[in-house]
Amino acid sequence: MLPDVRSTLKQFWGFDTFRPGQEEVIEHVLAGHDTLALLPTGAGKSLCYQLPTLHQGGLCLVISPLIALMLDQVDRARSIGIKAGAVMSGMTSSSIENTLEDAAQGRLSLLFLSPERIGTELFQGRLPRMPISLIAVDEAHCISQWGYDFRPAYQRISELRPVHPEAPVLALTATATARVVEDIQRLLAFRAPNVVRTSFRRPEITFWVSHGEDKLARLLKILNRTQGSSIVYVQQRRTADQLAAHLEHHGIHCAAYHAGMDRSERDRVQAEWASGTLPCVVATNAFGMGIDRSDVRSVIHWSPPNDLESYYQEAGRAGRDGKPAFAFVLCDGADPELIRERVEAGFPSLAEVRKVFQAFSNIHRIASGSGLHESYPVHLNELAGKAGIRTGTALHALKALELNGTLVLSEGVHTPSRVQIKADHATIMRSRKNDKCMGAVLEAVRSAHGGLFEGLVIVEEERLARMSAISVQEVVDRLKELHRLDLIHYRSRDDDPQVTLLVPRPDAAALYLAPEALALRKDRALKRMRAMLSYLAPDVRCREQELLAYFSEVPKEACGQCDRCVARKRKEGGSLEQDMERIRWEMDQTGT
């Protein structure tokens, strides 16, 4: 099938075969069909829009929700010789214009942009001239209010379609329930329904919920008995610090990881984890992106998350190498109530939203009626303190304002450093002569990126340090100096989330959020929460079956290895003998 497509695969990526689902998606795209690709994380979804674009020419617009994801994709695409660019907040308007113009002139194959960008004049003005052959919507579940990560701006994507009616839409996601699948196709104005999916089954993972009060003892048992590396997920930063200290005290070599830590400390933990010297990380959900180590043997949730989408995503980091792995949830009597409280706190009152917005305006001294399209860093703790409410509630108040179209909240964690070279080659060569270190850094930036300078590129200070044989601190100092000299544009790693106002600053007292919109959102979050609670409740249904059914997959036979299957078998006395060894092991794990 499609032998020439395979040669493109070989030519650019060096792969000989497609992963499950990829070829089918690509065939649909090349045939001009609107397509929803529902493939698990790590399945290789990016290739599904990149390859057809290279194959048939033209420009692929890629809508993506997170700056970090965009930068990562641009960097990866460029590294294999695909002409890619991105426009995002934080870039100067002239470099945004340049990139958009490159796209309009046919100089790019991929253009990444956030959904908010669609409404801007700069983009709208060039959109009709762009040679668009495909519109790819990454993380497409963000379009649905039923999804767990709703981004209102996603609903504007369909506005692109009448401008380029011949370009098909490819929506990509790893998590979608039946409702979300329906929403994605409807809201992106699919010409005909068309879903390509592969199974989300993870037969190598044994799912286990361990009920009981002494979580620490049970966790220690699990960690002492599982070979290989583990991730322990907690809900709060403080818990991560405390639990890591406890575990260390009990002889488990581990480290905490959360967004409240220093950047350098986080990098250190991540590097040790990646190199295999650190067997266990106690982390909040900030630990996820870019940590792909395939030999994780167990993922343990110290307490259950709010919904099964997040749970399956996090648990799914176990056993990527296909070898047996475990996903445990530790649950005590108080947990279901705590989940309820957390979900409730996700819905601040209108009065609380107003307080947060007032505090935000005061901190940044934004005069009423000003600030349109300006971006401001937010320190959530400071904001919550000034508003006199809990940090979690403050975050959710900002999210409510985002849903309301008042502002955009961009994630802060893991926004990598970016550099754009402004100087020409001759200047680089000159500065190389004048200052050896500076020249070396410039040269490293240049060669790390194959000489492609049409926009900001991601740089890793550590990598540059290795390449130019000086310390990381010296690299950072040189980059700052080069920025000051206007030879490069350097944006160092950014960890604070940013708020960008989409309207001139309104008066807090006059802010209005439609009560029915708030109620609808709450209703949906409560439904997702109930699915999580039912996963924790006593039941006889196989866990794998319950999880797959939640993601609208028709599961086949029971997995036979989760805690419920084992308990059921024990009752029935059936195949207990042969499983005895394993069960004993698992009982040991959980102390049941």
- Least gap, CB of 159 to ligand ADP (angstroms): 25
Number of residues in contact with ligand ADP under rule CB under 6 A: 12
Q: Which residue is nearest to ligand ADP (CB)?
A: 44
Burial class (CB in 10 A: 0-12, 13-18, 19+), 112: buried
- Give the CA dihedral 76, 80, 85, 88, nearest 10 degrees: 0
CB 313 within 8 A of CB 41: yes
Compare residues 44 and 85 and give the one whose CB is closer to ligand ADP.
Answer: 44
Gap between the Cα atoms of 157 and 450, Å rounded: 32
Per CB under 6 A, does 42 bind ligand ADP?
yes
Task: Tell me whether residue 76 or residue 268 sits nearer to Mg ion (CB atom).
Answer: 76
Give the one entry of ligand ADP, Mg ion, none that residue 39 binds, where binding means its C-beta sits below a cut-off of 5 to 8 angstroms depending on kind.
ligand ADP
Maximum alpha-carbon separation in the chain: 81
The secondary structure of 512-535 as a DSSP string is ---HHHHHHHHHHHHHHHHHHHHH
Long-range contacts of the stretch 547-551 (C-beta < 8 A, 24+): 547/207, 547/308, 547/312, 548/199, 548/200, 548/201, 550/177, 550/308, 551/175, 551/176, 551/177, 551/200, 551/312
- Residue with smallest beta-carbon separation from Mg ion: 45
- Report if residue 492 touches ligand ADP, rule: CB under 6 A: no
* Residue 19 interacts with which of Mg ion, ligand ADP, none, CB < 5 to 8 Å by class: ligand ADP
For residues 255 and 248, what is the distance between their CA atoms, to the nearest angstrom?
A: 8
47 in contact with ligand ADP (CB under 6 A): yes
Nearer to ligand ADP, 173 or 561 (CB): 173
SS3 of 180-246:
HHHHHHHHCCCCCCCEEECCCCCCCEEEEEEECCCHHHHHHHHHHHCCCEEEEECCCHHHHHHHHHH
Q: Which of 5, 25, 29, 43 binds ligand ADP (CB under 6 A)?
A: 43
> Alpha carbon 34 to chain centroid distance?
24
Phi and psi of 552, rounded to 5°? 60, 25
For ligand ADP, which stretch binds (CB under 6 A), given 41-49, 97-105, 385-393, 441-449?
41-49
Closer of 22 and 410 to ligand ADP (Cβ): 22
C-beta of 292 vs 341, nearer to ligand ADP:
292
Quickly tell me which residue has 């966790």 as its tokens: 219
318 lies in the site for ligand ADP, by CB under 6 A: no
Query: To the nearest whole angstrom, how small is the minimum distance from the Cβ of residue 148 to ligand ADP?
Result: 17
Among 28, 34, 38, 45, binds ligand ADP (CB under 6 A): 45
Is residue 143 within 8 Å of 151, Cβ to Cβ?
Answer: yes
- Min dist CB 301 to ligand ADP, Å, is 21
Pick out residues in 35-54 that bind Mg ion (CB under 5 A): 45
CB of 275 to ligand ADP, least distance (A): 19
Is 348 among the residues that bind ligand ADP (CB under 6 A)? no
**211 bridge partner residues:** 331
Q: Give 184 or 444: the residue with its C-beta nearer to ligand ADP.
A: 184
Is residue 551 near ligand ADP by the rule CB under 6 A? Answer: no
Q: Check: CB of residue 501 under 8 Å from CB of residue 374.
A: yes
Task: Name the minimum Å distance from CB 22 to ligand ADP.
Answer: 6
Min dist CB 101 to ligand ADP, Å, is: 28
Can you state the angle between helices 46-56 and 22-30, rounded to 10 degrees?
A: 40
In the bound state with ligand ADP, the residue whose beta carbon lies nearer, of 10 and 584, is 10
Q: Smallest gap, in angstroms, from Cβ of residue 77 to ligand ADP?
A: 11
- The option from ligand ADP, Mg ion, none interacting with 41 (CB < 5 to 8 A, set by class) reads ligand ADP
- Out of 25, 28, 29, 44, the residue judged to bind ligand ADP by CB under 6 A: 44
**Angstrom distance (rounded) from CA 184 to CA 182:** 6
DSSP 3-state assignment of 61? strand
Q: Least distance (Å) from ligand ADP to the CB of residue 41?
A: 4
18 binds, among ligand ADP, Mg ion, none (CB under 5 to 8 A by kind): ligand ADP
Task: Indicate the angle between helix axes 237-249 and 215-225, nearest 10 degrees.
Answer: 60
Q: Is residue 490 near ligand ADP by the rule CB under 6 A? A: no
Of the candidates 60, 19, 24, the one whose C-alpha atom is nearest the C-alpha of residue 40 is 19
* Window of 45-53, 58-66, 268-276, 550-558 that interacts with ligand ADP by CB under 6 A: 45-53
| Cβ atoms within 10 Å of 516's Cβ, excluding its own | 8
Residue 73 C-beta: closest distance to ligand ADP, Å: 8
- Cα angle value 25/28/34 (rounded, 5°): 100
Query: Per-residue x/- marks for ligand ADP, 1-40, CB under 6 A?
Result: --------------x--xx--x----------------x-
Helices (H), 62-166: 67-79, 93-104, 121-126
Nearer Cβ to ligand ADP, position 43 or 118?
Answer: 43
Nearer to ligand ADP, 43 or 137 (CB): 43
- Binding residues (CB under 5 A) for Mg ion: these are 45
Binding site for ligand ADP (CB under 6 A): 15, 18-19, 22, 39, 41-47
